[in-house]
Amino acid sequence: MKTKAQFLDEILKINPKYNTELIGKAFDKAQELHDGQLRKSGEPYFIHPINVAIILAQLGMDEATIIGGLLHDVVEDTEYTRDQLVKDFGEEIALLVDGVTKLGTIKFESKEEIQAENFRKMFLAMSKDIRVLIIKLADRLHNMRTIEYMKPAKIEEKCKETLEIYAPLAGRLGISTVKFELEDIALKYLHPEEFKDLQEKVSLRKSQREETINTVIGEIKEALDDMDLEYDIYGRAKHFYSIYKKMKFQNKQIDEIFDLIAVRIIVDTVKDCYAVLGIVHTMWKPIPGRFKDYIAMPKPNMYQSLHTTVIGDNGEPFEIQIRTHEMHEVAEYGIAAHWKYKEGNTSAEASSDDIKLAWLRQSIEWQQDLNDPKDFLETMKMDLFATQVFVFTPRGDVIELPAGSTPLDFAFKIHSAIGCKCVGAKVNGKMVTIDHTLQNGDIVEIVTSANSSGPSADWLKIAKSSNARNKIRSWLKKENKSDNIEKGKEVLDKAIRKKGYDPALCAKSVYVTKAMKAMNFANADEGYAQLSNGGSLVSKFCSLLFSYYNEDNKTEAKSDESVLDDIKATEAKRQRAEQRRKDSPGVIVKGADNLMIKLARCCNPVPGDEIVGFITKGRGISVHRKDCSNVTSLPEKEKARFIEVEWEDLKMGKSYDADICIVGSDRKGILSDISRVCEDMDIHLSGVNAKTGRDGSLTMTITLSISSTQEMQKVLRNLRNINGVTHVYRAKS
């Protein structure tokens, strides 16, 4: 383990301007607090914060970040409190340590790609200061360098977490040196055989590659020396994980990877970059489509460089990268490079232009013309995702919501049915009201009740997301319309009885339809909703209804007593018919009666399907679709048990279970989109069975309540229009 003197000497070689008194004080405090603690390797624990601080110094970070690296575990792993930290080292250091501690509490229980991206966003959102993220990356890098001392299961977990969360986060911040090392270490332990094989393949060609690079460098030097340019030039080795990804996911052999051999040229100005490019393209033929101008169009993480792949004299392709010194610093250290320039690095001038991080989808000005690095850091102390909040489900899934969102927004984001039945929520294990404001990192559990009366107009004031408000409005509109329709039917029924008519006789659909049309209602539902207001509109409607009925039946109004008898008789008849309708599957056997009939569950026929009956042994008639595989695969001798059946007209309004298969890509929100299609069509979704593939595919079978083949075709069409769905078809069996 390094002594204090050795540690200070090492970081002073990196930056002689570091305040060794402050950093030395932090060294002493961390050493004191971690005294007696050991790592998995059996070494003193203090080795870890020392190495984290050295990594931060190598990245060019400021004194506060170095101190934060030395102290990053003291509040979490010792009895040293935040208040003591503030007293000894100030609020700035305390904020950095506190931020790293909070990030360490996030548990990565869900590892899908979409979740990994959300976790990276949450890291950004929970960091009030970019330096917190850089300390966390340095912490992870040293832990990965010493990962061999962990148990195999823990090694696998940490390596996957590194590839999904930390390495891409380093890439987002443009710190390629950290990104590449994290990826290579993770590859070494996750896929040891592939890593060893790759090492051997690269090693076999090492001498040939070095010879080619040296030849290319010599030729370029000769050309550039004639131009009187200041430049640096060297060969570059592609890191193993990058080669592995190209071989695995692009199905390439190592010989097909063009940028395995690469030369990097670093010059003083942008003008020199393009001048060197012109020289290179006159010396070797460029490969079409392999030129990238990241100077004119920088990558989202601020990376700038010219990339071109050319064919060498021996027919071997190789890549050349051309950039300025400042671009090189940014390429290697990303956002951390700006601390180097602010500390007085004279190798490049500070740009007067704002550098904008496009990947944040917001304009954040990096004050490049500030002389004091502390002023520059002030631009970092902000919530980078001020318009968003990231919260957890109880299962560990990350849900992204607008800032200021409440449990109502969370509930409707999960599913509209959960939102409509929401009565409260638990946030971090404590009960809260539905208007509670959610914070980054909250674990939210929705409390629902079957007795809930559903959304009210007040919910529109509570919900912050447009998704939740739209669903609340839709529910209110639907429920109000439904209530008015039922009320209209009751008003009409009462008016008909008052006039001495039997509602069951004169309010038949044929008469109602005529009357609705005569009064210019768009449809029956609109008409009933209008009639719910009562008044002269109902009287006019009844007059039309009676005239159509009397015209057909040539009858006069009956006495109250006879009307009552008719009503009782009609109601009894209706109840018997209704019971028969409920008990019957809606299928009849031609030429037979009183047979036990049931619809086959293997193919779930619906009205409109071609069907056939099969005489079972002791279980009556089983009705199948004619294309059911259980029917078509029967041997000839069994087909003698088929019997002719047909749909009963009275049953065309009944709903039947039907299975539909959906194939597509596994993306966030696809189940919600499917549910929304069913909800919009007023079709009940009674079952879901889904499985995902390693290639990101999704295969799902849903069970719907369908009334006819026409409705079936419509729902199939609507499901096919969902983003990410490639195939939709009806299950045969």
Across the range 377-388, mean pLDDT stands at 43
Residue 577 lies in a domain: no
pLDDT band at 12 (very low <50, low <70, confident <90, very high): very high
**Can you give the pTM of this predicted structure?**
0.49
Residue 221 has pLDDT above 70, yes or no: yes
Q: 622 and 501, same structural domain?
A: no
3-state secondary structure of 369: coil
Q: 322 and 263, same structural domain?
A: yes
Residue 649 has pLDDT above 60, yes or no: yes
Amino acid letter, 189: Y
Instruction: Give the whole-number percent of the chain exceeding pLDDT 90.
Output: 19
Domain boundary among 123, 157, 190: 190
Q: 397 and 486, same structural domain?
A: no
Residue 247 lies in a domain: yes
Q: 252 and 272, same structural domain?
A: yes
Q: 145 and 9, same structural domain?
A: yes
Q: 704 and 607, same structural domain?
A: no
pLDDT band at 353 (very low <50, low <70, confident <90, very high): very low
Q: What is the 3-state secondary structure (H, E, C) of 660-672?
A: EEEEEECCCCHHH
pLDDT at 730 (0 to 100) = 83
Q: Residue 266's beta-bridge partner residues?
A: 232, 323
pLDDT at 377 (0 to 100) = 37
Q: What is the 3-state secondary structure (H, E, C) of 141-168?
A: HHHHHCHHHCCHHHHHHHHHHHHHHHHH
pLDDT at 637 (0 to 100) = 79
pLDDT at 125 (0 to 100) = 52
Residue 206 lies in a domain: yes
CB of 100 closer than 8 Å to CB of 82: no
Q: Residue 285's beta-bridge partner residues?
A: 311
CA 132, CA 103: separation in Å to the nearest integer? Answer: 9
Q: Residue 380's beta-bridge partner residues?
A: none
Residue 631 has pLDDT above 60, yes or no: yes
Q: 619 versus 279: which is more confidently predicted? A: 279
Residue 416 has pLDDT above 50, yes or no: yes
Residue 643 lies in a domain: yes
Residue 121 lies in a domain: yes
Q: 669 and 646, same structural domain?
A: no
pLDDT at 560 (0 to 100) = 44
Candidate list 32, 43, 77, 91, residue with the active-site label: 77
Q: 22 versus 353: which is more confidently predicted? A: 22
Long-range contacts formed by 296-305: CB under 8 A, 24+ apart? 300/357, 300/358, 300/359, 301/171, 301/172, 301/173, 301/174, 301/334, 301/357, 301/359, 302/174, 302/330, 302/334, 302/335, 302/355, 302/357, 303/174, 303/176, 303/327, 303/330, 303/331, 304/330, 304/331, 305/331
Q: Say which range, 41-50, 118-127, 399-408, 688-697, has the weakest mean pLDDT.
A: 118-127
Domain boundary among 626, 651, 676: 651
Q: 543 and 436, same structural domain?
A: no
Residue 381 lies in a domain: no
Q: 226 and 161, same structural domain?
A: no
Q: 532 and 603, same structural domain?
A: no
Q: 155 and 17, same structural domain?
A: yes
pLDDT at 733 (0 to 100) = 57
pLDDT tens sequence across 692-722: 877 778 888 888 888 788 888 888 888 888 8
Between the CA atoms of 172, 173, 176 and 177, what dihedral angle is there, to the nearest 10 degrees?
-140
Residue 363 lies in a domain: no
pLDDT tens sequence across 262-275: 899 999 999 999 99
77 an active-site residue? yes
Q: 24 and 166, same structural domain?
A: yes
DSSP-derived letter for residue 437 is P
Domain of residue 690 covers 656-730
DSSP string for residues in 100-127: HHHHTT------SHHHHHHHHHHHHHH-
Q: Say which range, 64-78, 350-364, 612-626, has the weakest mean pLDDT.
A: 350-364
- pLDDT mean across residues, the chain: 78
Count other C-beta atoms under 10 Å from residue 552's C-beta.
Answer: 12
Residue 562 lies in a domain: no
Candidate list 10, 76, 117, 383, residue with the active-site label: 76
pLDDT tens sequence across 665-695: 888 778 878 888 887 787 887 778 888 877 7
Strands (E) across 352-420 are located at 388-392, 398-402
Q: How many domains does the chain have?
A: 6
